[in-house]
């Protein structure tokens, strides 16, 4: 409701984008059994991008930003266009939720740019 009071000129401000994205990610419940199952799935098949993406979302919900970041970057590196660039899009959601000055956002953006423009 409060976000509805943001003036149109500020809608794309990084802090506003972060405030919009954070609740969506915060609603993702942490299921440690799911994390274990998804980890086993990608150990069995490193090209199981859906399990890797789901694992990244679960790890982020558990506060493991670095691991979540690494898994999504792995997908982008291996198959950039998989599922209409789902990994890149999820990274952008994370970056918005974490905030533009967050160390993982800064690191992730550098690595993503390096992959995309190499």
- pLDDT number for residue 5: 72
Q: Could you name the CATH architecture of 2-116? A: Alpha Horseshoe (1.25)
pLDDT digits (tens, 9 = 90+) for 33-72: 999 999 999 999 999 999 999 999 999 999 999 999 999 9
pLDDT digits (tens, 9 = 90+) for 71-93: 999 999 999 999 999 999 999 99
Model pTM?
Answer: 0.79
Band of pLDDT at residue 8, cut at 50, 70 and 90: confident
User: What secondary structure does DSSP assign to 22-81, as a single string?
Assistant: HHHHHTS---HHHHHHHHHHHHH-TT-HHHHHHHHHHHHHTT-HHHHHHHHHHHHHH-TT
| CB-side neighbour CA atoms (13 Å) of 77 | 12
Query: Within its chain, how far is the Cα of 9 from the centroid?
Result: 26
- pLDDT number for residue 44: 98
pLDDT digits (tens, 9 = 90+) for 14-30: 665 656 655 555 567 77
């Amino acid at each position: 409701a409060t976000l509805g009071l943001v003036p149109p000129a500020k809608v794309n401000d990084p802090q506003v984008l972060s405030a919009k994205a954070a609740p969506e990610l915060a609603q993702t419940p942490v299921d440690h059994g799911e994390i274990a199952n998804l980890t086993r799935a990608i150990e069995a098949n490193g090209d199981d991008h859906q399990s890797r993406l789901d694992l990244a979302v679960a790890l982020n919900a558990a506060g493991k930003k670095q691991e979540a970041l690494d898994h999504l970057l792995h997908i982008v590196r291996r198959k950039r266009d998989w599922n209409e660039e789902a990994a890149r899009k999820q990274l952008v959601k994370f970056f918005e939720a974490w905030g533009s000055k967050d160390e993982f956002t800064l690191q992730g953006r550098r690595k993503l740019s390096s992959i995309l423009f190499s």
